[in-house]
Amino acid sequence: MLRNFSFLLLLVSFSLSLSAQETDSVGYHLTNRAVTLSIGNSRIYDSYLSPLLYKGSGISLMDERVSFLSKKLDYLSKYTEYACNADFTNNPSETASILGLSFRGFTGVHYHMKPIKNMNLMLGGLANVDLGGRYQNRNQNNPYSMILNANLWASVMCYYHIPLKKRTLTIREHFSMPFVGVMFSPNYAQTYYEIFSESQYDGTFPITSFGTRFQWRNKLSLDFPIKICTFRVGLLMERTVTNVNELETRNMNVSCMVGLVYNYLTFKGSKKIPAEFRNPVE
Amino acid sequence: MKNKIIAPFVALMALLTFSSCDKDLEVEEEDYMENFEMLWKTVDEKYCFFDYKKDSIKNWNTVYYEYKAKVENCRSKMDLFYILGDMLKELKDGHVNLYSSFDIARYDIQGDYLDNYNSKVISSDRYLGRDYKIAGGLKYKILENNIGYIRYSSFSSSFSDANLDYILDYFRNTEGIVIDVRDNGGGYADLVNVLASRFTDRKVHVGYMQYKSGKGHSDLSDPEPIYLEPGDGLHYYGRVAVLTNRNCYSATNDFVQTMMVLPNVITVGDRTGGGAGMPMSSELPNDWYMRMSVAPYLDVNMHYTEFGIDPDVKVDMDEKDELNKIDTIIETACALILNASF
């Protein structure tokens, strides 16, 4: 188990090592931030909890930030995302339910390209951690299924700007897919009592890749400024299929996103704030 | 250029979305055969005692064909329930149940065994009477022969460390303790160690645990040893007799198995009911749900105790004693304690 984690930490630290670079050139780079709420359909299949497909709704609150990695390297940007998700699903006869709650964080780096005018194509990698659980309200010794995984993702993001007379619309497409990771899973019919009370952790943190964890995530959105705000509407789709320890899970979420987008500048640390900026508390 | 980027991407998204429909998981809720197939398959893949019981239960594939024919001729949902319930009884396991809103299908673990417990006798003045004390789920009293008596009727009735401290302090000058777990059908497995840990002063190897590690009938994990460690609070190292009967099941069977390892403990009464497989739940498309054993417990000699544990001293209730409101099993246990027979 420790070896699996060490392997993953090595990969994560490699992907994040780029962010350690700093330069002192002049010029200010903004951080683009979007806070969105997604509501939509959710499907959960977790063979540890039930052999049936549960259907219902899901809600998610997401905070995404894109900023340049450093002032000089304006072809590399840093991406971070935090999201809280909740799924409320029922079995086919609607006599039992699965409640899913999870928190997830992403961070990573993208390389910028401009293949055509007004388009910003970004290719990169992300690392993420998911933490949460599912609760089935009718099971006796197996009511919980813990969600704990960490993955490395390939990520493609594309911004296409459509200049109009008074404003510019932005279409954003973000597709990502994990290629390696580690996840928690009980052994086939092992109860959580045995894992945590009897400390039987063997085989509960397998390494995953495409064959054992097939997942993709797609966010298509449109940003449009109206007066003092820039709004975002979009479609969020995410599919996860895992197959480890002879246990299968499937998850599908299709949600409509709505939120706000804004750009901001951060001054932090011991450096002096440039004279053209005024600090309200000084 | 724009189309060269967009077209393949749209095609990829269409393909991914189409492949995510999960059509293979769609079910017909009231289809009798579909419910039967799912129940049979779930048990086939998850039940943990097929190998152990291969000489005492029917072959599960034979069961499939036998009951499939019955389901094909089934005319009502209620009939289906009892057919499926009978199929589960073929496993001879009290931890295998099918639950509906009108009944629970279950295997009769008692069979031809005697009751060996009479609550009216226990309620008589000779034993608990009316002036017993209650600490959590435990009733207790010092009997006339200066032996502490604890009646614990269900491991689903919880108790705390403080409860045990008060009881053991109250019993500190007794000749011994009788723990009566007859007719205790089980409950919370973690309470087994909480109670048993007050009767040992050292870490003791008490058995093994396995779990179903795959879908094959023989796919069981290597047995992992389980230990009993001394609990916090007051301990009792005097003589202890644990009373058993056929309705000591599941967590209670585990409690008896654990206590038997301790040198100051003797078990008295009848064979326990077994139930040495921790159950897990599952469900069927039509809203019924079920449970089945998936993780076996083994005793310290690596024997399954699924079919029960024989007591150290086998005693049945005497009918004449019972009429006179005397519990033969309690009396035997008290005599063993007073005569320092173990």
- More confidently predicted of A225 and A281: A225
Query: Does A193 contact chain B (CB < 8 Å)?
Result: yes
| Domain residue ranges in chain B | 119-200+235-273+308-338
pLDDT at position B2, please? 63
Which residues contact residue B171 at a Cβ distance below 8 angstroms, ignoring those fewer than 6 apart?
B140, B142, B148, B177, B236
**What's at B289, amino acid-wise?**
Y
Architecture of domain B119-200+235-273+308-338: Alpha-Beta Complex (3.90)
For residue A246, give the nearest of B5, B27, B214 by CB distance: B214
pLDDT at position A4, please? 53
Place of tokens 């750009």: A263
- Tally A–B CB contacts below 8 A: 112
CB atoms within 10 A of CB A140: 12
In 3D space, the residue among A48, A137, A42 whose CA is nearest the CA of residue A94 turns out to be A137
DSSP state of B54: T
- B38–A189 C-beta distance less than 8 A: no
Query: Does A114 contact chain B (CB < 8 Å)?
Result: no
Percent of chain A with pLDDT over 90: 74
**What's at A88, amino acid-wise?**
F
**How close A28 gets to chain B, by Cα (Å)?**
31
Which residues contact residue A27 at a Cβ distance below 8 angstroms, ignoring those fewer than 6 apart?
A71
Query: Does A141 contact chain B (CB < 8 Å)?
Result: yes
Structure tokens at B77: 């949902």
Instruction: Tell whether the model's pLDDT for residue A19 goes beyond 60.
Output: no
Each residue's pLDDT tens digit, A44-68: 999 999 999 999 999 999 999 999 9
Each residue's pLDDT tens digit, A150-208: 999 999 999 999 999 989 999 999 999 999 999 999 999 999 988 988 888 999 999 99
Instruction: Tell whether the model's pLDDT for residue A18 goes beyond 50.
Output: no
* Domains defined for chain A, CATH in brackets: 2-12+31-264 (2.40.128.100)
**How close B28 gets to chain A, by Cα (Å)?**
9
Instruction: Tell whether the model's pLDDT for residue A7 goes beyond 60.
Output: no
- More confidently predicted of A18 and B190: B190
Query: Does B300 contact chain A (CB < 8 Å)?
Result: no
